[in-house]
Structure 1
Amino acid sequence: MELIVRAVDVGSGNTKFVTASAGTDIRCASFPSVAYPSSDDSPSWPSSERKKTVCIPIGPLFYEVGPDVSLAADTFRAKQLHDEYTETPEYLALLRGALSMMKVSRIDLLVVGLPVALFAVKKAALEKAMTGRHDIGGGKAVTVGKALAVAQPQGALVHYASEHQKMAEIGHEQSLIIDPGSRTFDWLVARGMRLVQKQSYSFNRGMSDVLRLLAAEITKDIGSPYRDYDAIDLALRTGKQPVIFQKPYDMKRLLPLAETVAEQAVSTMKQWIEAPHSLQNIILVGGGAFLFRKAVKAAFPKHRIHEVKEPMFANVRGFQLAGQNHARSVMAATGKERGHDASGEIE
């Protein structure tokens, strides 16, 4: 019997997680990274209206999370945009919400991610916090035998190599993985699958900065506070104009302003790259890939920029593949069908 491996990527914008995996066929799902607190586990709507959320107990409170959380949350939706995000009750609620939706009671190996800048300092603490029993409400719990934290763009590298059948070849190449997310702009230089720490980093210059900047411009234009970030995000991704005061709002004139955020982020990243001519792979992933594509291509005009299908799930799919590879190596080393020691952890 194989070890049960699952992966979760709790981002500032969305929480992505694996629901099922059979080799390289990895099924994923996501929900907004919003945790709505309440004093009890009663849903915020009548029982006759079934919505896709779960109530997760954390300390004295319950946090409602899930795909339909926007229907539960009030108009003020605080985002945990700081470096201690992984230590907050909101993070734990989102993580446990994902565990709840996986429909398993036991996970032998759970793989989670960290921004590159926080990887070295937060890895051990996050792995410890993820290991053990997780109360997911309703008298149910999920037990995690062992946790593995990886730098978020490393997951994308593994996914890219698998998708393009380059797992053996990429082990001898130098790659740059660029991952613009909601809060952070992450990049990672790797030799093979190994992180080159001094050329890899992340900082707060992601899609949330773009959305706040454009919201401020719309506010000035219409003379009234405007904070519908979801509508702005949808407009950027699809070209569908947001409706403001019952009229479609033309955002085309704001696109150059949005692109300046991407240009600033990419320009800063280039200062860290010591030998761009040696890069054999430049891979662009993440939920903000569509907006940062132009800036990345301008910064590396002599390179081909590689992308993947469903870039938002690139990291979590790579986490899953890395976890499965790790589990197989454990089983091969122990020669056991089920690699548990007396404590229930993977040996």
Structure 2
Amino acid sequence: MSPIIRAIDVGFGNTKYVVASNEGKVECAHFPSLAFHSAHEPTTNGLGGKRKTVAIPIDGNFYEVGPEVELAANPLRVRRQHDKYSETDEYRALTAGALHYMKVEAVDVLVLGLPVAHYIAKRALLEKSMTGAFDVGRKRQVQVKKVVVMAQPQGALFHFATKTGRIKEVMDSRSLVIDVGGRTFDWLVTLGTRPMPRQSDSVDRGVRVVCKAIAESISEDIGEQYTDLEAIDQALRTGKGLKVFQKPYDLKRFDKTIQNITEGAVDLMGEKLENSYAFDNVVLAGGGAYLYKKALKKRFPRLAIQEIPEPMYANVRGYQLFGEQYMREMMATQAASPGTGESRAQGDAVGAA
């Protein structure tokens, strides 16, 4: 039986996960990174109908997650966005929810990611805490046998190199990978695929900072609190506009607000970079890529910025492809030197990332 490799990218905005991978084609899905707590298992909505969610049991409590989680009857829609996010019950519930929707009984290698700023400090803890049996709801368990953690933009770089057929070229070059998420604006500088930590970092200047600033201005305009950040994000992303009190609300008036925030994030990155003229590849990924392209091109007008199709899935697709390479290398190492095994293969694979 072939080993099962899967990847999950638990972001502050959405949880992305791999449902299938075959000959380099990686199929993904996602749901909002919301986990609603309940002391009892929630099974239906307030009108008695079923919604596309699953209740994850953790320490005697339940966390409802899934594609229709926003239909849950819970007024306290709080996203726990802080530096210990990966250590929370909500994070585990989101991971378990993704495992549930994968419809697998066990995972031989699960690849996860962390923001650049937290990668070194939290990698070992996350690998340990996410290994083992997961209760994934509906009286099912999924056994995770091995966890490998990457810095989030590493996934985008690996995806870019693999899908463009430029693995050898990337291995011999210097790259800048920019990953715009819900909370964080991450960037990673690599020599080959090895990170250069001094020039890499994360700042809390992601899409939700933009959406919150706009929501505050709308609140002042309409005379009451406006909190639907998802609606603002959707309107900005699709260009279809926003409605407030059943009337179209022009978001063009916030172009300057968006410019100030996105350029501020890019400036913070620019201050840390050295010799930007030396980058061979500049890759832009993440669900918020659409908002930051203009600021990046303004700051680095002489650099060609490579955009990845479906940027929201760039990291998780890269995790998957890396996990498959990791498994191939581990199996080859074991075949060549029986008994030397997993630790050597993991060291080689993660080092290459």
Q: TM-score, normalised by structure 1?
A: 0.95
Alpha-carbon separation, structure 1, partners of 2:340 and 2:36: 37
Are residue 132 (structure 1) and residue 115 (structure 2) matched? no
The 8 Å contact of residues 189 and 200 in structure 1, kept in 2 or not, is answered as yes
Letter paired with 2:128:
K
Change (3 A) 1:73 1:91: farther
Calculate percent identity across the aligned residue pairs.
Answer: 47
Letter paired with 1:143:
Q
Unaligned runs of 5+ in 2: 348-353
Deviation at 1:187, TM superposition (A): 0.2
| Alignment correspondent of 1:80 | 80
Deviation at 1:258, TM superposition (A): 1.4
| Alignment correspondent of 2:281 | 281
Comparing 33-42 with 182-191, which one deviates more in the overlay? Answer: 33-42
Unaligned runs of 5+ in 1: none
| Alignment correspondent of 1:154 | 154
| Alignment correspondent of 1:2 | 2
Deviation at 1:46, TM superposition (A): 6.9
The 8 Å contact of residues 96 and 136 in structure 2, kept in 1 or not, is answered as yes
Larger helix percent: 2
| Alignment correspondent of 2:330 | 330
Alpha-carbon separation, structure 2, partners of 1:36 and 1:301: 44
| Alignment correspondent of 1:230 | 230
Deviations 1:22-80 (A, max 9, x none): 13100000000000111122314279633211110011210110000000153431111
Change (3 A) 1:47 1:7: farther
| Alignment correspondent of 1:123 | 123
Alpha-carbon separation, structure 1, partners of 2:296 and 2:76: 34
| Alignment correspondent of 1:111 | 111
Deviation at 1:241, TM superposition (A): 2.0
Q: Which runs of 4+ in 1 moved over 6 A?
A: 339-342
Q: TM-score, normalised by structure 2?
A: 0.93
| Alignment correspondent of 1:37 | 37
| Alignment correspondent of 2:141 | 141
| Alignment correspondent of 2:97 | 97
Alpha-carbon separation, structure 1, partners of 2:160 and 2:75: 38
Deviations 1:115-137 (A, max 9, x none): 00000000000000111111112
Deviations 1:195-237 (A, max 9, x none): 0011100011111111110000111111111111111111111
| Alignment correspondent of 1:268 | 268
The 8 Å contact of residues 176 and 281 in structure 1, kept in 2 or not, is answered as yes
The 8 Å contact of residues 36 and 73 in structure 1, kept in 2 or not, is answered as no
CA RMSD of aligned residues (A): 2.0
| Alignment correspondent of 2:173 | 173
The 8 Å contact of residues 46 and 73 in structure 2, kept in 1 or not, is answered as no
Letter paired with 1:3:
P
Alpha-carbon separation, structure 2, partners of 1:21 and 1:47: 38
Deviations 1:273-325 (A, max 9, x none): 11101001111100110000000111111011100110000000000011000
Secondary structure of 1:271's aligned partner: helix
Alpha-carbon separation, structure 1, partners of 2:203 and 2:180: 10
Secondary structure of 1:133's aligned partner: strand
